[in-house]
Amino acid sequence: MPFYEYISAAEQGCDHCRDGFTVLQRLKDPKLAVCPECGHSVRRLISPPNVVSGKAHMLKTSSIEQAGFTQYRKIGKGVYEKTAGKGPGVISADD
C-alpha cells in the first residue's frame, strides 16, 4: 500500500492539513477530499517514488540478525559460509 501526501487546498484549515500530512491508503481507495482533523478541503500532492539502485537495498548484517534471519555467502561450488544469524557455520551439498 502506498503512502499519499495531502495538503490544505486553500491555505486554510488546521495545523495538520496546512503543513501537510501523509496517509497510508490502498490503491483502490478514493483520494481524500477533506482533512480528517478539521474537514477543510485538501488536495493530494504528487511525490517522487522511492527508487533504490545498486545494492543499496540489501540489508546490513546487523539488521538481518536483529530480524531473526540467517544469511550465507557462497565460498565455493555448493559450499556456503554463514555471515549472519544462527545456524551451522558452513553448509555444503556434500553434507
pLDDT along the chain (95 residues), means of 10: 86 86 90 91 85 71 83 89 89 77
Q: What is the pLDDT of residue 95?
A: 55
Does the pTM exceed 0.85?
A: no
| 40 and 8 in a common domain | yes
In this prediction, residue 32 carries a pLDDT of 93
Predicted local distance difference test score (pLDDT) of residue 34 = 92
Angle, CA of 46, 49 and 9, to the nearest 5° = 15
Host domain of residue 12: 3-44
The C-alpha atoms of residue 28 and residue 77 are separated, in whole angstroms, by 47
- How many domains does one find in the chain? 2
37 and 9, same domain (yes or no): yes
The verdict on residue 68 lying in a domain is: yes
DSSP state of 44: E
